[in-house]
Amino acid sequence: MSRLPSISSASARLVLLGVSLLLPACAGSGAPTGVPTGPTDTEITEGHITTDHGLSGQGLTLVSGDNPLSGASWTTATNGYGPVELNRSNGGPAASDGGPLTVAGVTSTRGYGVHAASSLSFATGSQCRSLSTQIGVDDEVGSRGTVRFVVRGDGVTLHDSGIVRGSDGLRTVTADISGRNTVQLVVTDAGDGTSHDHANWIQPTLHGCEVAASSGPALTPEQFGARGDGVTDDTAALTALFRAMNTQSQPVSFGAGRTYRFHRTAPTQFTITRTGTTITGNGAVLKVIDTESVSTLWYGVRIAGTDITVQDLGVDFNRARRPGTTSPSGQTAWFIDGGSRNVVLRRVQALNSPMDGIYIRDLVSTLPAASASTLPTGIRLEGVQALNSGRNNLSIVSARDVTVSGGRFNGARGYGDGPWAGIDIEPNRGSDVYGNRNIVIDGAETSDNLGSGIDVAQLDNEGITIRNHASHRNGGAALFLSPSGTITVDGLRASSYGSVTKAGVVAIVPSDRPGATVSLSNLEIRDTTGTKPSFFQNYVGTVTLNGLRASNVATKTVLGTYQPTAVSNVYLDGVRIR
């Protein structure tokens, strides 16, 4: 990881000067005004095929019961103005340029922002009973905009909202989708043109889904002799369960709320490899027994397969109650290995790992890998909790198309010299030469980590997107970025920072690969007590900052920079800095 160059006395004096002297490239003299209109009737062109979030052309991975639809894979998507936006408003013509989904002052973290004419199609496979969603015109267009929301199943209209105006607020609709193989969410212009037609599908959810196993009932640990009482050593039963899981075409279901204790019998304790495996944890936890040493390499659950879904299952490595050294050799709760494709971890827990909570890396290949063909690809972490890990709560080392939607990655500390990050996006120099591409962190929280909330470092990181991020009380920085490729940050709430070890609460520092583009917008930093600036930039590349609100910060020099930065809309305690 690159270190900051030494600061000359002249440069040091610059940091202490006011922002207006530091940043001659500041854009504009006032906050943006006006309402985004979208295209006029004469500007409409064909909708865009949307692949920005890696969701196009994929089938749904459903489990029995209710399934949140937003963030799920669509088969096709078109949109009248720019791409469909995931968990944000439509905004303008570019990807990721919208704000929070907001209707009548109510902000939502889950849904789709679209613009008439728009269509999203999902392959539900006749497995679900109904669909519910809230609808409305986004507040970014004020009271303007008139649209119709239409739900179709296999081409048949199942619900038509009638005209919805910008002044109408939120509505809730439901549609019976029983027996429908395809469900389509359509927004039209209500017959009066498409100007201002920014529409939101809020918290769309499939209900009553029935996903049958290809043969036989669900496998359970109890069938193999497990007790799940939090006391009994269930290692043998769990080993037999996972062996059966990989050889039989059946789903797996754990006892609701039970704790299954286990000890080490192999370097990788449990492995999931069978295509199409579905595991429902029902809030159960697999917990390491107290007497197991932490000083040897050990993976708890390893995934190396295709179309695998695990939900509501925890792995607790119990590091505080286990003997061992202060620098364990590497023990990780969840490991997503090379060869993994279309893997969903939904509301799983990775607790108290001696090293990493969740580790995503290709170790199937001989390092350095000869190609990117075996890297974990199409990985989704939805509402995951990775807490109290010894090194990083989530490490993304070599992967393609990883989406982290929501979740908490808090409390990393204890292993060696760190980096103790909530989320560490960092290929290993010289071995993970194909690195990471298209990583999206959306709506997650990283707090109370000894290191930074999110680290993006080393070579071979391209297409990193961080949205709507909450980051509090981390010891390193909220965001520590050492760019090697495009990084986009849109939406950060950071608070309660003291003496951070990095150059600022948000720090962009040199790397071995200059010239990348870094775009930041909608940052909020408040309640700091340390001496470092809220924003620091020393990277040689194209860096833009549009929107930073600092309040109750100890260091009134909000921006420290040694490299050019295009800056606009920066406020200190509500007063705009020019």
Q: Which of 108-117, 240-249, 260-269, 504-513 has the lowest mean pLDDT?
A: 108-117
Judge whether residue 33 has pLDDT over 70. Answer: no
CA–CA gap between residue 415 and residue 279 (Å, rounded) = 31
Q: Would you state the CATH architecture of domain 221-475?
A: 3 Solenoid (2.160)
DSSP string over 105-123: TEEESSEEEEESSEEEEEE
% of the chain exceeding 90 in pLDDT: 69
Q: Please compute, for residue 420, the number of CA atoms within 13 A of its CA located in the half-sphere on the CB side.
A: 21
CB burial of residue 35 (10 Å; 0-12, 13-18, 19+): middle
Q: What is the pLDDT of residue 58?
A: 46
Count of all residues that appear for the chain in the document: 578
Structure confidence at residue 88 (pLDDT)? 86
Q: State the pTM of this model.
A: 0.69
Reported as a single tens digit per residue, the pLDDT across 418-469 is 899 999 999 998 899 999 999 999 999 999 999 999 999 988 999 999 999 9
Q: Would you list the DSSP string of 223-265?
A: GGT---EEEEE-HHHHHHHHHHHTTSS--EEPPTT-EEEE--S
- Backbone φ and ψ for 297, nearest 5 degrees, come out as -60, 130
CA distance linking residue 490 with residue 467, whole number of Å: 5
- The distance of Cα 201 from the centroid of its chain, to the nearest Å, equals 19
Tens of pLDDT along 362-374? Answer: 999 888 888 899 9
User: Quick one: pLDDT band at residue 479, thresholds 50, 70, 90?
Assistant: very high
Burial 385-394 (b: 16+ CB within 10 A, else e): bbbbbbbbbb
- Cβ neighbors of 334 (< 8 A, separation 6 or more) are 300, 301, 303, 315, 345, 348, 350, 357, 358, 359
Question: Confidence band (pLDDT; 50, 70, 90) for 71?
Answer: low
Return all residues near 456 (Cβ < 8 A) that are at least 6 apart. 425, 426, 464, 479, 480, 481, 482, 483, 487
Residue 329: pLDDT band (50, 70, 90) is low
The pLDDT value recorded for residue 60 is 65
pLDDT of residue 72: 55
Residue 352 is predicted with a pLDDT of 96
One-letter amino acid of 309 = T
Calculate mean pLDDT across residues 36-62: 41
Output 38 or 290, whichever has higher pLDDT: 290
pLDDT of residue 68: 78
pLDDT digits (tens, 9 = 90+) for 172-196: 999 999 999 999 999 999 889 999 9
pLDDT over threshold 50, residue 20: no
Confidence (pLDDT) at 308 = 94
pLDDT in tens, 142-152: 999 999 999 99
From start to end of 4-99, where are the E strands?
65-68, 76-78, 85-86
- Predicted pLDDT of residue 129: 94
What pLDDT is recorded for position 476? 97
18 has a pLDDT exceeding 90: no
CATH of domain 41-207: 2.60.120.1060
What distance in Å separates the CA atoms of residue 487 and residue 463, rounded to the nearest whole number?
A: 6
- Please state the rounded mean pLDDT for residues 273-295: 93
Domain map (residue ranges) of the chain: 41-207, 221-475
Query: What is the Cα–Cα distance from 325 to 72, expressed in whole angstroms?
Result: 42
Of the two residues 295 and 475, the one the predictor is more confident about is: 475
Spatial contact of 161 and 171, defined as CB atoms under 8 Å apart:
yes
Q: Shortest CA distance to 226 belongs to which of 284, 277, 279, 271?
A: 284
Mean model confidence pLDDT for the chain: 86
Return the pLDDT at 296. 85
What is the per-residue pLDDT for 109?
74
484-536 pLDDT, tens digit per residue, is: 999 999 999 999 999 999 999 999 999 999 999 999 999 999 999 999 999 99
Q: Is the pLDDT of residue 42 over 90?
A: no
Lookup: tokens for 382 = 């939805």
The closest alpha carbon to 73, from 211, 202, 183, 207, belongs to 183
CA gyration radius, the chain: 24
Q: How many helices (H) and strands (E) does the chain have?
A: 3, 43
Distance CA 310, CA 276 (A): 11
pLDDT at 34: 37
The helix/strand/coil state of 62 is: coil
Sort 371 into a burial class: Cβ within 10 Å, 0-12 / 13-18 / 19+. exposed
State which amino acid sits at residue 386: A
pLDDT at site 59: 54
Give pLDDT tens digits for 80-138.
Answer: 998 888 888 999 888 778 888 999 988 887 889 999 999 999 988 889 999 999 999 99
Which pLDDT score, from 0 to 100, does residue 5 have? 29
